[in-house]
Structure 1
Amino acid sequence: MNQMIGLVEDDPNIRDIVKAYLEKEGYQVLAVDTAEKAWDIFQEKKPDIWVLDIMLPGMDGYEFCKKIRQTSEVPIIIISAKDEEVDKILGLELGGDDYLTKPFSPRELVARTKRHLKRWEAMRPNAEEEQETIKVGALELNESERQAYFNGKEVEVTTKEFEMLKILASQENRAFSREELLIKVWGEDYYGSDRAVDDLIKRLRKKMKELPIETVWGHGYRLREKRS
Structure 2
Amino acid sequence: MTAQTIVLVEDDPSLRMLTARLLQENGYNVRTAATAPEFWIAMEGGPVDMIVLDLMLPGTNGIDLCRQIRRTSDVPIIFISARGNDEDRVLGLELGADDYLAKPFNTRELIARIRAVLRRGPITEPDGTNRRHEVRFEGWCVNLSRRELRSPSGAIIDLTGAEFDLLGTFLDQPQRVIGRERLIELSRTRVGDSSDRSIDVLVSRLRRKITAAGGKPPIVTVRGVGYMFNSAVTRT
Q: TM-score, normalised by structure 2?
A: 0.75
Whole-Å Cα distance in 1 between the matches of residues 166 and 44 of structure 2? 25
Cα shift at 1:172: 2.5
Q: Is the 8 A contact 2:93 2:202 kept in 1?
A: no
Cα shift at 1:34: 0.7
Cα shift at 1:124: 1.9
Q: Which residue of 1 aligns with 2:120?
A: 123
Whole-Å Cα distance in 1 between the matches of residues 194 and 131 of structure 2? 34
1:206 aligns with 2:211: yes
Q: Is the 8 A contact 1:183 1:190 kept in 2?
A: no
- Identical columns (%): 25
Q: TM-score, normalised by structure 1?
A: 0.77
**Change beyond 3 A, Cα 1:53–1:130:** closer
Structure 2: which amino acid aligns with 1:174?
R
Q: Is the 8 A contact 2:98 2:162 kept in 1?
A: no
Cα shift at 1:117: 3.3
Q: Is the 8 A contact 1:48 1:75 kept in 2?
A: no
Cα shift at 1:43: 6.9
Question: Where does the alignment leave 5 or more consecutive residues of structure 2 unmatched?
Answer: none
Q: Which residue of 2 aligns with 1:62?
A: 63
Q: Which residue of 2 aligns with 1:78?
A: 80
Structure 2: which amino acid aligns with 1:190?
D
Cα shift at 1:21: 2.9
Alignment of 1:1-228 (within 5 A): 1-42=2-43, 45-69=46-70, 71-72=73-74, 74-80=76-82, 82=83, 86-88=87-89, 90-91=91-92, 94=95, 95=97, 97-102=99-104, 104=105, 108-109=106-107, 111-126=108-123, 128-158=129-159, 159-187=161-189, 189-192=192-195, 193=197, 194-218=199-223, 219-225=225-231
Whole-Å Cα distance in 2 between the matches of residues 29 and 154 of structure 1? 34
RMSD: 3.0
Structure 1: which amino acid aligns with 2:117?
W
Cα shift at 1:125: 1.8
**Change beyond 3 A, Cα 1:211–1:163:** farther
Q: Deviations over 1:63-110 (max 9, x none)?
A: 223444554261414133x455654554455435132324x5xxx33x
Q: Secondary structure at the match of 1:123?
A: coil
Q: Secondary structure at the match of 2:187?
A: helix
Q: How many matched pairs?
A: 220
**Change beyond 3 A, Cα 1:40–1:181:** farther
Q: Is the 8 A contact 1:92 1:191 kept in 2?
A: no
Q: Is the 8 A contact 1:15 1:31 kept in 2?
A: yes
